[in-house]
Structure 1
């Protein structure tokens, strides 16, 4: 991302918001409505799977609201620290109460991420502590090194984006090859990670009783990035050899 990342206090005295996507910044002032989509104020991509208008940011009675104005796509919304997360369905809206809010959504094979910075947030953020070799979220749900490597391998094209857009999520075969694993080992690890997150209440990883969703890799990457389970700093994990588990 180019340019400094704004923090609360850097947005000026006016109670507006800044929207960032791939290094491009937009300012939204009170009374204005800002749209995100294929043909919007923030025209993300000429992607036929993406709505012309998917997201809308506006102010109402002193609060900033994020609304999903699309008809098919859901949006994962999280606070800047990745501690709180909502799945914003079509027609739903929620208040932007944190200094930074991240929205992640998938249209066809491509996943997008935008950040919204509020000048006068209602709540402050706390940052999760990291533990070397493991990552813990929620009710002591811990991921091993190999499970983290799996998530990083799937999210690698998104984590390495250079400001021109996001790459496609790799297939299980390609991600397994990237790690030097067999596809059988990779799929077993993928099952374990999806099971853990499903028990945590993460939606979209299962298609029904005892069956996995067909697009679970996409949903897993969506959640892992928005919940800050993986970041660009974790790319070095891809070069480590995790022990067999």
Structure 2
């Protein structure tokens, strides 16, 4: 049986296969006293020869990224999934805070191919969507706290007004471009950006950050975009 280790905020936890391991406001890993976080949110257990991650909450979802960001899942309430890669990154948002956890197992049934490894190292691109410089700048502004983090941690998600101010944009311009980016990703099949037919989800900022960071659409190397004066003169158009 492969051991499973969990990393959060610089601390390591060994997960015992003999009983479920609960993550939330309370449980085996008490993350935070954040009232927006479920008392019991995520659960790890070992069955059928695999480690499984379950969302036992009723409102929050989690983004699970594996294989260096090449494989990503959106774990909705009451859903579960097997952990089939050696390293898995879990990102979720509760209220204004975004949390990141790492899961490590030494004997995963699948491994990253050389082609995917090269893709995620930047030698080739696996992202099927193209973003304008201003659209990418918007994603970097929202993801800035996560991109500047050191290790696995808790980050505060910027408000729309704060991110707009960071870019020197009006709030209406920011919201228009946010809608455009979310529409583009929704058409690609990215879950969690729509609240229903023709309606963008109210927590789309959090979901966009989770997706952009864990899929490496934006990385720390993109942070200079925030202070790129040449983008100030970019035409204010959407595509």
TM-score normalised to structure 2 length:
0.85
CA RMSD of aligned residues (A): 2.5
CA contact (8 A) 2:89 2:100 kept: yes
**Higher share of residues assigned helix:** 2
Alignment of 1:77-156 (within 5 A): 77-125=64-112, 126-127=116-117, 128-129=119-120, 137=127, 140-156=128-144
How many residues were matched structurally? 229
Match of 1:161 in 2: 149
Alpha-carbon shift at residue 80 of structure 1 (Å): 3.7
Distance 1:124 1:21, change over 3 A: same
Which deviations, in whole Å up to 9, do the C-alpha atoms of 1:81-108 show, x marking residues without a partner? Answer: 2222222122221110011111122212
Which deviations, in whole Å up to 9, do the C-alpha atoms of 1:43-95 show, x marking residues without a partner? Answer: 11011111122111111122111111222222221214222222212222111
Correspondence 1:182 to 2:170: yes
Match of 1:43 in 2: 30
Q: Which 5+ residue runs of structure 1 have no aligned equivalent?
A: 1-13
Alpha-carbon shift at residue 129 of structure 1 (Å): 4.7
Alpha-carbon shift at residue 205 of structure 1 (Å): 1.6
Moved more, 177-186 or 106-115: 177-186
Rounded Cα–Cα distance in structure 2 between residues aligned with 1:160 and 1:41? 28
CA contact (8 A) 2:67 2:111 kept: no
Correspondence 1:244 to 2:231: no
TM-score normalised to structure 1 length:
0.83
Rounded Cα–Cα distance in structure 1 between residues aligned with 2:146 and 2:120? 23
SS of equivalent to 2:89: strand
Match of 1:196 in 2: 184
Rounded Cα–Cα distance in structure 2 between residues aligned with 1:211 and 1:36? 31
Match of 1:227 in 2: 215
Alpha-carbon shift at residue 228 of structure 1 (Å): 2.3
Moved more, 70-79 or 184-193: 184-193
Of the three residues 193, 196, 201, the one matched with 1:213 is 201
Match of 1:10 in 2: none
Alpha-carbon shift at residue 153 of structure 1 (Å): 0.4
Alpha-carbon shift at residue 165 of structure 1 (Å): 4.5
Rounded Cα–Cα distance in structure 2 between residues aligned with 1:117 and 1:94? 15
CA contact (8 A) 1:18 1:118 kept: yes
Rounded Cα–Cα distance in structure 1 between residues aligned with 2:41 and 2:161? 32
Distance 1:141 1:228, change over 3 A: same
Distance 1:102 1:237, change over 3 A: same
CA contact (8 A) 1:136 1:143 kept: no
